Amino acid sequence: QITLKESGPTLVKPTETLRLTCIFSGFSLSTTGVGVGWIRQPPGKALEWLASIHWGDNGRCNPSLGGRLTITKDTSKNQVVLTMTNMDPVDTATYYCAHRRVALGLDFWGQGVLVTVSS
């Protein structure tokens, strides 16, 4: 059974760095074809892809965030970490991580974590 759960602060101050951890079970990031993505959704708005990392790569991030994103994986701990620097109130959103297999969509999602950016 595949499960994912996002872990991290629910409140950050402007200019701070956000670090979110996706802790998963039921699959391994050392398995060919498997990946984990991060997606966010501001309140009342659409989904936005942030970053993805797969079994055989070091990850890709959305350039629209201006180089603020980093994604890393720890295969031994079954974790993927998303780091976002220089947080701003417009970054207030629910942040999700999700599982995928190559050539398919995001088929298992975490419950999401609402991150509020406010002083």
Partner 1 sequence: DIQMTQSPSTLSASVGDRVTITCRASQSINSHLAWYQQKSGKTPQVLIHRASSLQSGVPSRFSGSESGTEFTLTISSLQPDDFGTYYCQQYDDYPWAFGQGTKVEI
- Residues forming the site for partner 1 (CB under 8 A): 37, 39, 46-49, 52, 60, 62-64, 96, 100, 103-107, 109-112
User: Furthest-apart CA pair in the chain: how many Å?
Assistant: 43
CB 52 within 8 A of CB 35: yes
Write down the least CB distance from residue 22 to partner 1, Å.
13
Which tokens in the block code for residue 94? Answer: 């629910």
Amino acid at position 90, single letter: V
Question: Residue 16 or residue 62: which is nearer to partner 1 going by CB?
Answer: 62
Write down the least CB distance from residue 105 to partner 1, Å.
3
